[in-house]
Structure 1
Amino acid sequence: MAASTPGAVPHAELEVQIGRWRDYVRRREAISAADVDEMEDHLRERVADLTASGLDDEEAFLVAVRRMGNLDAVSREFAVEHSERLWKQLVLVAEPADGGTRSWRELAVVLGCAVGAGVAVKVGSFLLGDDTAFLRNVALLVLPFLAGYLAWKRRVTWQVGVALLVPVAVLATVLNVYPFAPDGSTALLAAIHAPVVLWAALVGVAYVGGRWRSDGRRMDFVRFTGELAIYFALLALGGGVLLGLTAGVFTLADLDLQPALESWILPFCVPGAFVVAAWLVEAKQDVVENIAPVLTRVFTPLTIVMLVAVLGVLLSGGWVVDADRELLILMDAILVLVVCLLLYSISARDPLAPPASFDVLQLGLVAVALAVDAVALVAMFSRIAEFGVSPNKAVALGLNLLLLVHLVRSAALATAFVRRRRPFDPLARWQTRFLPVYAVWAGAVVLVVPPVFGFA
């Protein structure tokens, strides 16, 4: 293998090796995503120096990793050089007097963003008035505060900060300037897909610190998204129980908590809890990573059973051709859930482990999801042929075609991995590299679909 020249684009195999190293380091306790980024930069610098001296990519990688020493030693070195880091206490015995300064500063930033999101939602609901307009803008009112916290956490450059403003400005203009028909389909579609665009182009870019081309960082964002959903659900359940008990006490005292609940408590608590959940994910990554594999192993077989039952009902009842809109929407929701479970399962898996029984089970999940998607596509083409094209049908058809491509390629790569013909990395890379396609599609639904269908 020819030696790489300084500044050349790394070979694909080198990127695979670095990706495996990063996944291994990422799972170690007390090492945050930002620290892994710095360690990866350190590793890449050593690889570049070694390739410049005449080694090929594989030799340079092995020598660089060996010279970096074991991870505990590297962690200790990082702790000495970056004394303000919170995780220093887990590496060094002695802790400086100001060791908790950054943690308190971060807590203040989180609380400020949480309160800011609540205030934005409350002010937005008052200024917009119309429920439909508020629904279109609610993501614009909440997600910038979450992205702001992540940008502060990642210490993004000013160029990345400016890039984060672009999707917010574009969507804020489109969602409030387009002449949507009252209670029209395109307005609802825009309201549903705008959060998807913001989640990818705003929150995602802030989370990866501007490194949107890195497969490893995008996979970290997938993991972050799943963990955030877990923490937010836990906060919602706990908050719901607390509010229910409080409302019960108020009722016994002949006081009605409902007006305050609708006007003040929920508008502040829900968006605030979303930001706090993100902070918990960042602060307790090692705890959630122990939960993630368990959740995927529990819900994957349950989801397969659900899909088989759905497929059996659809085929036995003759509902494929006569499926109504509500059924098709439900089928799309199920398929999206399957893709999310697939992504989270892959993000939680050890990429260096050999194929196991759970990988076969996951392949079965993809196969059954493909069958359900095929049934949904037949039903959609049937409805379009009978009733014509509408905004809802066009968007649903586009989403199902994207899901079909995603699942077909995933099935092929998963089959090759289970049969030990290909490593796990191509399957993981396919997930992260196809994710931007969903974001682009969601952007097209917001920007292009409304004028094409006359904003109806």
Structure 2
Amino acid sequence: MDKNNFIIENIAKPHELERMFRYDSKAFKKLFSHAWEQNPDSQVLAVWYERLNFKETAQSEKATLLQKGFLFMGILAILAGISARIIFHFVEQHTIAPINLAFGILPFIGAYFIYKNKPQKKVLYTLALLFLISGLYLNMLPLSNKDSIILVYLHLPIFLWGLMGLAFTGNEYSNSRTRLAYLKFNLEFCILYASMAISGMLLAALTMRLFSFIDLDIEDFYFRNVVLFGAAALAIVTTYLVSMNLKLAKNITPYIAKIFSPLVLITLVVYLITVVSVGKNPFLDRNFLIAFNGILLGVLAVTIFSITESGTDDKKNISDYINFALIVLALIIDSVALSAIVFRLSSYGITPNRLAVLGVNILIWGNLIWIMVSYMRFLQNKTGPSPIQNAVAKYLPVYGLWAAIITFTFPFIFN
């Protein structure tokens, strides 16, 4: 068989053409040019022509979009780094609260989301107005260690995280799948940011060590002008990389969810058995109650991200039963925590901290009930996985709303 006529001689054998293309695509393309010239009316070769050339066109279009997105990301990263450095200067002067550093990063991530999703004007104006109000409000509060002010510092980032979700979802803010995509983005962002941050810390340690050999202590200067700038800029770069569907983060997150869910379940069961055996009482021990709530939030986060990564497959696997067990366990923990908080409120009176913890425990309890019922119906083959994901996605704004209530009302109620 003449090699130069391979494509022509196998024009009626799609399997052979595909086999050769996969074996040596470069050789196939060279032979294809000659075959296409000799057989311009062939429908089979016409399909191959579109396949090969469309791939090149798509790549060039992607490269153009990559350049535009990359340039905009670079500008935002520089602005975020400069903003964070300026804000840190005022934090050092004790004129503003450290939580203001969030405004050196989050608005720029939001700007990238807006650039990519192009939301309607009402969404854009809402985001701009709420960010502006939040920044002004925060800096009108007195710098104080009062419980109500500290609660603002703790809950304002949650509210801003909700605003970031609105920027991410854009015009599809009410779509459950888009909200779940935002949760996936957060997990992939954390993994990628942590990976690059570790590399950055190693570079920083190496740099300072090298300068120490020539008797120069650059630690303070390096932290203020390089580390801080880099940490803020890296957040924008990570956002860009995750939005470009980087395979590293997307491939690893499902495995993290599958690995951590059973480990968390085993750890919690052992921990709770130990707690009962040593006689720890969350009703009387305040620190233990705080730890109990921390465990609850951790379990909720692991469960939600595991549900987010489970996809839309109706087929059940061991992960679904592990998730259901985690939800039941979290519900037990939350019920105990709620009882302890009500006991402390009735015994010791109302404080901002107790009221805030009571509210968030009630919200989590309601969310867990919804997720548990949806999961139970799924495991009983009464529904698919969509109601479970809806129980997660549709409840997200409730947490943002509660964070807003605490942020904007508690300093006035508990003045």
- Please indicate the TM-score interval, normalised by the length of the shorter structure: 0.7 to 0.9
Change in Cα spacing, 1:239 to 1:323, as seen in structure 2 (3 Å) is farther
Change (3 A) 1:97 1:402: closer
Residues 1:152 and 2:115 are matched in the alignment:
yes
1:282 aligns with 2:243: yes
Q: Which residue of 2 aligns with 1:195?
A: 157
Alpha-carbon distance, 1:313 to partner: 3.2
Distance of 2:88 and 2:224 partners within structure 1: 10
Residue 149 of structure 2 aligns to which amino acid in structure 1?
A
1:169 matched to 2:132? The reply is yes
Structure 1 residue aligned with 2:357: 396
CA distance in 1 between counterparts of 2:252 and 2:317 reads 19
Which residues of structure 2 form unaligned runs of 5+?
1-46
Which of 348, 351, 368 matches 1:387?
348
Aligned length: 367
Q: Is the 8 A contact 1:137 1:191 kept in 2?
A: no
8 A contact 1:132–1:183 mirrored in 2 = no
Q: Distance in 2 between matches of 1:98 and 1:411?
A: 45
* Cα gap change, 1:115 to 1:89, in 2 (>3 Å): farther
Q: State the one-letter code of the partner of 1:134.
A: A
Indicate the residue corresponding to 2:31 in structure 1. none
The answer to whether 1:318 aligns with 2:315 is no
Q: Distance between the aligned counterparts of 1:334 and 1:380, measured in 2? A: 15
Aligned to 2:180: 219
> Are the equivalent residues in 2 in contact too, given 1:320–1:378 (CA < 8 A)?
no
| Shift in alpha-carbon separation, 1:325–1:173, aligned structure 2, 3 A | farther
CA distance in 2 between counterparts of 1:382 and 1:165 reads: 42
Mapped to 1, the partners of 2:131 and 2:55 lie a distance apart of 42
Aligned to 1:416: 377
How does 1:317-356 map onto structure 2 within 5 Å?
317-321=278-282, 323-356=284-317
Report which stretch shifted further, 271-280 or 441-450.
Answer: 271-280
CA distance in 2, matches of 1:340, 1:123: 33
* From 231, 237, 257, the counterpart of 1:296: 257
CA-CA distance at 1:146 after TM superposition: 0.4
CA contact (8 A) 2:327 2:368 kept: yes
Q: Secondary structure at the match of 1:393?
A: helix
Offset at residue 376 of structure 1 (A)? 1.9
Select which of 51, 55, 69 maps to 1:106: 69
> Would you say the 8 A contact 1:124–1:141 is kept in 2?
yes
Q: What whole-Å deviation, never above 9, does each CA across 1:384-428 have from its counterpart, x for those lacking one?
A: 233222111111111111111111221121111112122111111
Pair 1:358–1:124, CA change in 2 (3 A): same
Q: 1: distance between equivalents of 2:186 and 2:121?
A: 25
- Could you tell me which residue of structure 1 aligns to residue 34 of structure 2? none
TM-score, normalised via structure 2 length: 0.82
314 and 159 in structure 1: CA distance in 2 versus 1, 3 angstrom threshold:
same
Correspondent of 1:273 among 228, 234, 238: 234
1:90 and 1:342 mapped to 2: Cα distance?
Answer: 45
Runs of 4+ in 1 over 4 A off after TM superposition: 88-91, 94-99, 128-132
Which runs of 5 or more residues in structure 1 are unaligned? 1-75, 81-87
Match of 2:154, as an amino acid? I
Find 2:222's aligned residue among 239, 261, 267.
Answer: 261
Q: Say if 2:367 is the partner of 1:406.
A: yes
Query: Structure 1 residues 189, 158: CA separation in 2 closer, same or farther (over 3 Å shift)?
Result: same
Moved more, 422-431 or 434-443: 422-431
CA contact (8 A) 1:114 1:272 kept: yes
Q: Which residue of 2 aligns with 1:206?
A: 167
Query: CA 1:214 to 1:256, structure 2 compared with 1: closer, same or farther past 3 Å?
Result: same
Q: Deviations over 1:426-451 (max 9, x none)?
A: 11111101110000000011011111
CA distance in 2, matches of 1:89, 1:191: 55
State which structure, 1 or 2, has the greater radius of gyration over its C-alpha atoms: 2
2:155 matches 1:186: no
Note the alpha carbon deviations across 1:105-130, whole angstroms, 9 max, x for none: 21111121111111111112223545
TM-aligned CA distance change 1:326 to 1:111, over 3 Å: farther
Aligned-partner residue type, residue 190 of structure 1:
V
1:290-330: CA deviation from partner (whole Å, max 9, x where unpaired): 22211101100111122223322332333224554433333
Q: CA deviation at 1:357?
A: 1.5
- Asked if residue 363 in structure 1 is aligned to residue 319 in structure 2, the reply is no
SS of residue in 2 equivalent to 1:320: coil
**RMSD between superposed Cα atoms in Å:** 2.4
Q: Distance in 1 between matches of 2:413 and 2:104?
A: 27
Q: Specify the code of the residue in structure 1 equivalent to 2:89.
A: F
Render the CA deviation track for 1:7-34: whole Å, top value 9, x for unaligned.
xxxxxxxxxxxxxxxxxxxxxxxxxxxx
Q: Which one of the candidate residues 392, 397, 403 is aligned to 1:442?
A: 403
Q: Is the 8 A contact 2:91 2:98 kept in 1?
A: no
